[in-house]
Amino acid sequence: MDKKEIVESISYCGLICSLCHLADQCDGCKNHTYMCTNHSEKWDGCHHRNCCIEQNLKGCWECDNFPCNKDMYSHTHDVRLRAFARCIREDGLDKLAEYIIGNEEKGIRYGYQKDYDLNRTRMKY
């Protein structure tokens, strides 16, 4: 996976759709053909997507209210997604992609129940 492919597949919330365990079933929330199964069967089910579209934002990291404590940024949800979006906000999309690629080269895999989820090692975000 190259940097451009990663950058182009980053969702409104900061997930990297092309590296998702559902990538073979879903083209991501910025693609209008299929809904990610983590939400409802309709695009209407994702607060982050709808909010970003309403505000004409490329992602939550551009929002003045980031992090909003709604949906996947709630305090009951995993902090890592907010960390990825904060990284984008502070360092940019390209730099996040470089971090992901660098970690992959070190054997630290992104995706559901992979190294970021298992907390096996320290990663650079």
Among 22-26, 29-33, 71-75, 82-86, the range scoring the smallest mean pLDDT is 29-33
Longest Cα–Cα distance in the chain = 39
- The predicted model scores a pTM of 0.78
- Adjacent-strand bridge partners of 82: none
What does the pLDDT look like over 37-88, one tens digit per residue?
554 455 567 889 889 999 999 999 999 999 999 988 888 887 888 899 999 9
Q: Where are the domains of the chain?
A: 3-118
Helix (H, G, I), strand (E, B) or coil at 10: strand
Asked if 1 and 101 touch (Cβ cutoff 8 Å), the reply is yes
Residue (of 11, 18, 79) closest to 43 by Cα position: 11
- Cα–Cα distances (Å) from 38 to 12, 21, 24, 98, 99, in that order, read 14, 11, 14, 26, 25
